[in-house]
Structure 1
Amino acid sequence: MTATYQELRRSDLPSLRREIRAGHYAKHTAGLGPGFLQTNLAIMPEAFALDFMRFCQRNPKPCPLVGVSDTGNPMMVTLGADIDIRTDVPAYNIYENGKLTGSREDITDIWTDDLVAFALGCSFTFERALEEAGIPQWHIDHDTTVPMFRSNIETVPAGPFSGKTVVSLRFIAPERLDEVIAISRRFPLAHGAPLHWGDPEKIGITDLGAPEWGDPCEIEEDKIPVFWACGVTPQVAIERAGIPLCITHKPGHMLITDIAEDAEVPVRNPRAA
């Protein structure tokens, strides 16, 4: 039976992961797994893995590296007691030669022994702290995926990987902006503080109603548009690199780890072992 979003928001972490692994839930993960770090995903052949790791190291705001698998081993042993990267993400995107060729909910049948999986921190993690502080977020309140845009902020290249930084948008009341910045700064593994707030055209965004990824949100004229570095950034770099195969999360559909969301370094939370 397919699980609903509201049911899973009340589930413990093992139950939540079982539902995703069984294919019973394939929607976005915003608001799920409270207390635990959510991550973006990039899987690629070992021949490109070192350059990609360099890309992440050089661009820590959009690409905060949380975990790396052993070559050919789908179990993310540093991120949880039983995390299979082939099944435990609600939905995956498949890129071939830099082109998005399809999406699926399970990648077991295309996994090969030369693949390396990277887990990268996700802004969904700090959203719970904003919720607890009573700061509304339109996409969570309306069960949609956060809007994401390609900015004009260049990443630092590494090997074949380069491109613009992708940012995610949330509208924040002016009187709470300083508080939001302080809260999100506490989560360096989840993109940390915003990259920009105010005039979107200064970072190359001309239409807030037309995100390139995610869903449109209400344009709240009495609030300030605030932009965080986004984990879709490596997908843009992967498209530009044109490598033969790469598998990523479908935007908004994250891996939920056993790592405490307020961790400063990626060490698995023993409570969830």
Structure 2
Amino acid sequence: MSPPLADLSAPPAIRPSLAARLAARSGALTGSTAGLALGHAQANLAVLPAVYAADFLRFCQANPKPCPLLGVSEVGAWTIPSLGDDLDLRSDIPGYRIWRDGELVAEVDDASAFWRDDLVAFAIGCSYSFEEGLIAEDIPIRHIEEDVRVPMYRTSIDCTPAGVFSGRMVVSMRPLRPPHAIRAVQISSRYPAVHGAPVHLGLPHLIGIADLARPDYGDPVTVKDDEIPVFWACGVTPQSVIASARPSFAITHKPGTMLVTDRRNSDYAVI
């Protein structure tokens, strides 16, 4: 007996990265992208008028830990082809922030109405990418377990200034037992394009963090008695810097909600 014919009316399977972008585009995906499309790199977004682009590019180059560049758009373009097919920077992130003169003026699900012909978009590596390696070795990721956004904090660590841009580093935090923390350092070190190794372990007050229960971005998570806080440089740093530099206009992602790209995390591994 011949096998049944394929159902040609069924939609073709799509890769999980595109599925995540389409879900954000349609409004079906509204929360954190942590743990989505495992294997695919995620990216932070910073969009600025072209007059600021050269300075911001130099800022990223001078601060590769918090601002590792994955791609830059052409002026006015709303896609970065190297990061994916069918990718729309205006709508494929679950949440956006709109800035004017360094002030946050709106949070929206779709930034299309705010896009301009003079804008340049910067995609910056995200620590959600190296979490794949932690998950593979059964290292618990608390914000995924608790279904919240990763906690992020402004620190006392100065970034290297470039042009009009300067400010303090933002870090993300994951509480880990010491053996897991050691392994996490080893694993994340393989991925310098997505923040690499942590910048600090334990003793949050040494980097200007007064209270772990009150993150500046994202949500607080449980820190158990046998765990230490482990801090990685974070791609939300440009938002802190934008607030300090006060450019006339900017669009960023809403912290915790990222652009899921077609690039593989393995593309950025050095080992």
TM-score (norm 2): 0.92
Match of 1:21 among 9, 20, 25: 25
Deviation at 1:264, TM superposition (A): 3.0
Query: Offset of 1:227 from its aligned partner?
Result: 0.4
Task: Please report how far the alpha carbon of residue 12 of structure 1 lies from its aligned counterpart in structure 2 after TM superposition.
Answer: 2.1
Please, which of 34, 59, 65 is the counterpart of residue 61 of structure 1?
A: 65
TM-superposed CA distance for 1:249, in Å, is: 0.2
Matched residue of 1:20: which SS? helix
Alignment partners' CA distance in 1, 2:71 and 2:261:
10
1:161 aligns with 2:165: yes
Larger Rg: 2
The letter of the residue matching 2:44 is N
Aligned to 2:243, which of 222, 239, 244?
A: 239
What letter is aligned with 2:220?
A: P
Partner of 1:71: 75
* Structure 1 residue 150: Cα displacement: 0.8
SS at match of 1:176: helix
Contact 2:76 2:117 in 1 (8 A): yes
Q: C-alpha distance in 2, partners of 1:211/1:145?
A: 11
Q: Give, in whole Å, the separation in 1 of the partners of 2:85 and 2:124.
A: 18
CA contact (8 A) 1:187 1:263 kept: no
Counterpart amino acid of residue 129 in structure 1: G
Return the letter of the residue paired with 2:143. H
Aligned counterparts, 1:75-90, within 5 A: 75-90=79-94
Aligned to 1:179: 183
Q: Provide the alpha-carbon RMSD of the alignment.
A: 1.3
Identify the residue that residue 151 of structure 2 maps to in structure 1.
147
Write out per-residue CA displacement over residues 144-194 of structure 1, whole angstroms, 9 at most, x where no aligned residue: 001111111100001111111001111111122221101011111110000
Residue type matched to 2:46 in 1? A
Q: 1:260 aligns with which of 260, 264, 268?
A: 264
Name the counterpart of 2:125. Answer: 121
Q: Deviations over 1:63-83 (max 9, x none)?
A: 000000000111211111121
How many residue pairs are counted as aligned between the two chains? 256
Structure 2: give runs of 5+ residues left out of the alignment: 1-14
The SS at the match of 1:177 is helix
Aligned-residue offset at 1:110: 1.5
Structure 1 unpaired stretches of 5+: 1-10, 266-273
CA distance in 2, matches of 1:89, 1:193: 26
**Conserved? CA contact 2:21–2:259, under 8 Å:** no
Q: Is the 2:47–2:252 contact (alpha carbons within 8 Å) kept by the matching residues of 1? A: yes
What is the distance in 2 between the residues matched to 1:13 and 1:175? 32
Structure 1: how far apart are the matches of 2:180 and 2:79?
41
Structure 1 stretch 243-252 or stretch 178-187: which is displaced more? 178-187
For the 8 Å contact 2:18–2:262, the answer to whether it is kept is: no
Mapped partners of 2:41, 2:192: distance in 1: 11
Q: Which residue of 1 aligns with 2:3?
A: none
What is the rounded CA distance, in whole Å, between the counterparts of 1:58 and 1:170 in structure 2?
A: 25
User: How big is each residue's C-alpha offset from its partner over 1:20-52, in whole Å with a ceiling of 9 and x where there is no partner?
Assistant: 111111111000011111000000100000100
Q: How far is the alpha carbon of 1:246 from its aligned partner? A: 0.3
Matched position secondary structure for 2:18: helix
Q: Which residue of 2 aligns with 1:96?
A: 100
